[in-house]
Structure 1
Amino acid sequence: MRKTAYLALVVAVFQVIASHGAHAGQLDRLRVDSLGTVLLLVGPVAILATRRFPITSLAATLVATCVFMTLGYPYGPVFLSPVILLFKTVAEGRRKVAWIASAITAAYFLVYSTWLVDRPAAGAWHVLAIVAVMLLILAAGEVARFRREGRAEHARVAEEESRRQASEERLTMAQELHDVLAHNISLIHVQASTALHLLDDDPSQARPALTTIKAASKEVLGELRSVLNVLRDGAPRSPTAGLDRVGELIERSGMDVSLRQVGSRPLPSQVERAAYRIVQESLTNAARHAPGAKVNVRLEYLPAELVITVDDTGPTTPAVLSEEGSGNGIPGMRERASALGGTLVAGPTGTGFQVEARLPLPEETE
């Protein structure tokens, strides 16, 4: 608003002072008097009001300019206000209004230069110059409008991209929380059930189960803290787990799990995290649906992909947690694989169950 007020003041001073000076070179025109000064001030006042009344401000300025010319006042400085308002009208997107107003004004000057002045030829040159300037101003306004809309579109796209990234981060955190809680709570539940069963008959055997519960509860707290830290400003956004911790994961599971790795190579962080979570969720499903089973975990590092295979031999005791799952385990693993351009297949194999995920890897650089 302050810039608009400064602009209106500068235009008012220029139009009034310069119009008095212009009379010296146009002695056939009337000297600017009080009425002429009022007409010259209509434009600056309209500039002040253009934000609230853009069309009315433009119309008032053009009418005042036409009346100023018809009464015989000097050419020149009076055109500054119409030029500014026409430019602003086009630049702000009111193209139709600006072009119609320009056409009407040009028609007026054509009539004026042909029939209303003493020297029509001179008037014709004036109207041609005015039309040329009008077209130039309208073209400049179109360029400004195009650039303004381009900046607005760029800002809109950037905002949408920011929202999309924020949404993806929220989904990632939700998936992390699901995997962490599902695995560790299932493990705690299984070990707690084992401890309760053994507490009366064989208390010494309950100690390992209680130790596993303690470790799992500590692990879940650490994982939750790590995941939730991404909500804090300046918090590191590194993966919360990687394949280097699969051994710890297997030890905490309390199951008969064998691990085999074929090959080895550095992996991108997102692949590390996805692979760890797939193994974790597979072990969770085995603990929930196949207690007592022998589980085999195989990590095969191929040139173009990482193949993760987790299979079990089937339950040997009743599956106490088989009906308590969220139903999101396998779909969640499949989403992780798909997000990286990979695949995941899960299904029964004989008496057991198998999960096989293939995660694409970038080419190795020497």
Structure 2
Amino acid sequence: MRDHPLATDAVLALGALVSMVVGSFASPHGAHGPTFGTRTPATFSLFLMVLGAAALVFRRRRPRVVLAVTIGLSLLELTSGEPRAPVAMCAVIALYTLASRTDRPTTWRVGVLTMAGLTGVAMLSGPLPWYAQENIGIFAWTGMAAAAGDAVRSRRAFIDAIRERAERAERTRDEEARRRVAEERLRIARDLHDVVAHHIALVNVQAGVAAHVMDKRPDQAKEALAHVRDASRSALNELRATVGLLRQSGDPEAPTEPAPGLAVLDDLVDTFRNAGLPVKVMVQLGRSAADTAPLPAAVDLAAYRVIQ
């Protein structure tokens, strides 16, 4: 129906025409209610019904024009002096279409004018008294058409607003996810830089020692090379642990070792002591319990990286 709106409106117009023609054969003044087959519509009324149904085919393309045309056809039928035929149903459908596709003030202005115009002409023309049920029916149908169209328009606007908020929330969530990914990548890059810089500095020192004493003190050179091996192994282990954070859910399980902190400061200092550098560590503890309490993980890691 969305892909072929003109065909949909043509089917609706055909259904409206059939309903109007069938209704024109019914007489509402039977002894026990409406009766069929007691009257036949005039040719002029049938012609107006066909024109009104044809106008409904274009109700969504030109709603104002179609409403004006159907109101004119309804007024012609009401003032023709022929037995009443439900041509006004075309105006009812056209009024609903206009109400569902415009704003509320326009809906009620046009709706009140249509109700007053058609009902007033129906009451003042024809042999029936002004309070006849056909006249009241025109008033009721046009009022319900305006109200139903306004309700449909409000619901569509409400659904569109919800959809827009959902799309905006989705975009915001995606942007937040990308921002968090970028921050995590930056943090991992910093950790990688700290790890690599520390261990490459150790390897450089140990390699310099080994090159300096290779000829005169081969035993010390061998020890320095062993420290180079240990430092490179530690660098690989820390790189593996850091890069393990990037594993996906289906990848092998990441290492479960805790992040480095001041608790392993002695191991960090020993790597330099093994290179032959004199390193002294002085720890000054505070007097209050708050000063000796464990540091937050982020502060602990930052202090370790600074010393490293």
Band the TM-score falls in, shorter-chain normalisation? 0.5 to 0.7
Alpha-carbon separation, structure 2, partners of 1:214 and 1:47: 78
Residue aligning to 1:249: 259
Distance 1:93 1:193, change over 3 A: farther
Higher relative contact order, chain-length normalized (CA < 8 Å, sep 6+) = 2
Query: Residue type of the partner of 1:11?
Result: A
- 1:6 corresponds in structure 2 to 11
Q: 1:273 corresponds to which residue?
A: none
Alignment gaps of 5+ in structure 2 = 30-34, 210-223, 268-278, 286-291
1:57 corresponds, among 66, 69, 83, to: 66
1:298 and 1:212, CA in 2 relative to 1: closer, same or farther beyond 3 A?
Answer: farther
* Alignment check: 8 A CA contact 1:88 1:141 kept: yes
Structure 1 residues without counterparts, runs of 5 or longer: 230-234, 259-290, 301-305, 320-366
TM-score (norm 2): 0.66
Are residues 1:159 and 2:167 paired? Answer: yes
Give the greater-gyration-radius structure (CA).
2
Q: Which digits, 9 at most, give the CA deviation of each residue in 1:65-124, with x for residues without a partner?
A: 2222222344353232222232232233443343333333334335524654345x3477
Q: Which residue identity lines up with residue 210 of structure 1 in the other structure?
A: S
> 2:215 matched to which residue of 1?
none
What CA distance in whole angstroms lies between the structure 2 residues aligned with 1:298 and 1:165?
38
Write the letter of the residue equivalent to 1:66.
L
The alignment's C-alpha RMSD in Å is 4.3
Matching residue of 1:16: 21
Task: Give the secondary-structure state (helix, strand or coil) at the position aligned to 1:134.
Answer: helix
Structure that is richer in strand per residue: 1
Q: Which residue of 2 aligns with 1:145?
A: 153
- Cα separation, partners in 2 of 1:23 and 1:71, compared to 1, 3 Å: farther
> 3-state SS of the aligned residue for 1:188?
helix
Q: Find the partner of 2:226 among 166, 180, 204.
A: 204
Give 3-state SS (helix, strand or coil) of 2:259's partner.
Answer: helix
AA of the residue aligned to 1:8:
A
**Cα pair 2:78 2:125 within 8 Å, conserved:** no
> How is 1:182-261 mapped onto 2 (pairs within 5 angstroms)?
182-201=190-209, 202-226=224-248, 245=256, 247-250=257-260, 256=265
User: What amino acid maps onto 2:152 in structure 1?
Assistant: A
Q: Which amino acid aligns with 2:178?
A: R
Match of 1:103 in 2: 112
How many correspondences in the alignment?
263
- Given that 1:18 and 1:77 are in contact with CA atoms closer than 8 Å, whether structure 2 keeps it comes out as yes
**1:256 aligned partner, one-letter code:** L
Structure 1 contact 102–134 (Cα < 8 Å) conserved: yes
> Could you tell me how far 1:294 is from its partner in structure 2?
8.2
After superposition, the C-alpha distances for 1:313-344 in whole angstroms (9 at most, x for unaligned) are 9977xx9xxxxxxxxxxxxxxxxxxxxxxxxx
* SS of alignment partner, residue 185 of structure 1: helix
Contact 2:17/2:50 (<8 A) preserved: yes
Identical-residue share of aligned pairs (%): 20
Indicate the SS of the match to 1:77: coil
Secondary structure, aligned partner of 1:31: coil
For 1:136, the equivalent position in structure 2 comes to 144
- Return the alpha-carbon distance in structure 1 between the equivalents of residues 154 and 226 of structure 2: 79
TM-score (norm 1): 0.57
Contact persistence 2:100–2:153 (CA under 8 A): yes
8 Å contact kept, 2:99–2:146: yes
Q: In structure 2, give the amino acid aligned to 1:191.
A: H
| Partner amino acid, structure 2, of 1:222 | G
**Following TM superposition, by how much is the alpha carbon of 1:183 offset from its aligned partner in structure 2, in angstroms?**
0.8
User: How many Å separate the matches in 1 of 2:71 and 2:153?
Assistant: 21
Letter in 1 for 2:195: L
Letter in 2 for 1:250: P
Counterparts of 2:259 and 2:297, CA distance in 1: 18
Superposition pairs of residues 1-366 of structure 1, within 5 angstroms:
1=5, 2-21=7-26, 31-33=41-43, 35-75=44-84, 77-109=86-118, 111-113=120-122, 115-119=124-128, 121-122=129-130, 126-201=134-209, 202-226=224-248, 245=256, 247-250=257-260, 256=265, 299=294, 309-310=299-300, 312=303
> Could you tell me whether the CA contact under 8 Å between 1:293 and 1:313 is conserved in 2?
no
Aligned 8 A contact 1:46 1:60 in 2: yes
* Residues in 1 aligned to 2:231 and 2:153: alpha-carbon distance in whole angstroms: 71
